[in-house]
Amino acid sequence: MRIDDVVAVVTGGASGLGAATARAFTAAGAKVTVFDRDPAGADFADRIGAGFAQVDVTDEASVTAGFDRAGAVNVAINCAGIATAEKTLGRDGPHRLQSFARTVDINLNGTFNVARLAAARMAQGGVIINTASVAAFDGQKGQTAYAASKAGIAGLSLPMARDLARSGIRVMAIAPGIFRTPMLESLGQEVMDGLAKDVVFPARLGEPAEFAALARFIVECEYLNGTTIRLDGALRMP
């Protein structure tokens, strides 16, 4: 698929990996609609020349309304998600079921909700890219909810690709390592340097533009389907 033939939605598209992807695709000639819960995302979308829809990925009516605004999409890129840091058994007792369920609801259920509704709009075929994480394979302490939700996203790739093959829709997932996003930058340079030391090569944090570049390559490379690509500089979480 040529990038200038792309009509895409990017969830979580007003910040972090989603914003970098929306910006890169728009700059390359794609028509992009940013889906984000934060209405302030409309300003970002306007600056990069994209459309905007305030969308809650866990709500069917909200996502449907967003797709109605986006039009005849042929690419959906799921970047919306949250991170939860809570141990299975901590000093204050067991992991709260509510926080576990919320993480799974937004990260996994929300991704599936957007993917299934996107597929219904892709009359002429298309590409769905979901965002997993290296935590799906080697999650750290306190990441049970996050890792479980991201492992679910990785697990979606092959069966969903098989389901949608007859419709000409490819399904892929990207599992990023540690990326320089606003959330991570808020922790400070010292913390970021400490995280980067575990990356094999190049020994640095990933840049959101690199995630966007891989998403574009997936869209353009027709033979990529049904799998998860780690984008992590050979990082294996200790």
- How would residue 182 be classed by pLDDT, with cut points 50, 70 and 90? confident
pLDDT of residue 191: 65
Mean per-residue pLDDT of the chain:
94
CA 94 to chain centre: 29
Average pLDDT over residues 160-166: 98
Establish if 167 belongs to a structural domain: yes
Residue labelled with tokens 């590409």: 127
Residue type, 67: F
Residue 194 pLDDT exceeds 90: no
Residue 197 pLDDT exceeds 90: no
Q: Which residues contact 202 (CB under 8 A, 6 or more apart)?
A: 233
The range of the structural domain enclosing residue 165 comes to: 3-231
- How would residue 172 be classed by pLDDT, with cut points 50, 70 and 90? very high
pLDDT of residue 186: 64
Euclidean distance between CA atoms 23 and 25, whole angstroms:
6
Establish if 94 belongs to a structural domain: yes
pLDDT of residue 193: 78
Establish if 236 belongs to a structural domain: no
pLDDT of residue 187: 59
33-37 own/partner pairs: CB under 8 Å, 24+ apart = 33/8, 33/9, 33/66, 33/69, 33/70, 33/71, 33/73, 34/9, 34/10, 35/9, 35/10, 35/11, 35/63, 35/66, 35/80, 35/114, 36/11, 36/12, 36/80, 37/80
Active-site hit among 146, 157, 176, 218: 146
**Contact, 72 vs 117, CB < 8 A?**
no
Establish if 48 belongs to a structural domain: yes
CATH code where residue 39 lies: 3.40.50.720
29-72 pLDDT, tens per residue? Answer: 999 999 999 999 999 999 999 999 999 999 999 999 999 999 99
pLDDT of residue 114: 98
pLDDT of residue 196: 82
Would you call 223 a catalytic residue per the annotation? no
pLDDT of residue 190: 75
DSSP 90-101: ETTEEPPHHHHH
Q: Which of 143, 106, 121, 139 lies closest to 11 in space, CA to CA?
A: 106
Give the total number of structural domains in the chain: 1
Establish if 27 belongs to a structural domain: yes
Establish if 166 belongs to a structural domain: yes
Establish if 238 belongs to a structural domain: no
216-231 pLDDT, tens per residue? Answer: 999 999 999 999 999 9
- How would residue 234 be classed by pLDDT, with cut points 50, 70 and 90? very high
**Contact, 73 vs 9, CB < 8 A?**
yes
85-101 pLDDT, tens per residue? Answer: 899 999 999 999 999 99
1-10 pLDDT, tens per residue? Answer: 999 999 999 9
- How would residue 163 be classed by pLDDT, with cut points 50, 70 and 90? very high
Residue type, 135: A
- How would residue 135 be classed by pLDDT, with cut points 50, 70 and 90? very high
Establish if 237 belongs to a structural domain: no
Residue 103 pLDDT exceeds 70: yes
- CA angle 134/45/180 to nearest 5° reads 30
Q: The dihedral of CA 23, 25, 31, 32: what is its sign?
A: negative
Euclidean distance between CA atoms 75 and 126, whole angstroms:
6
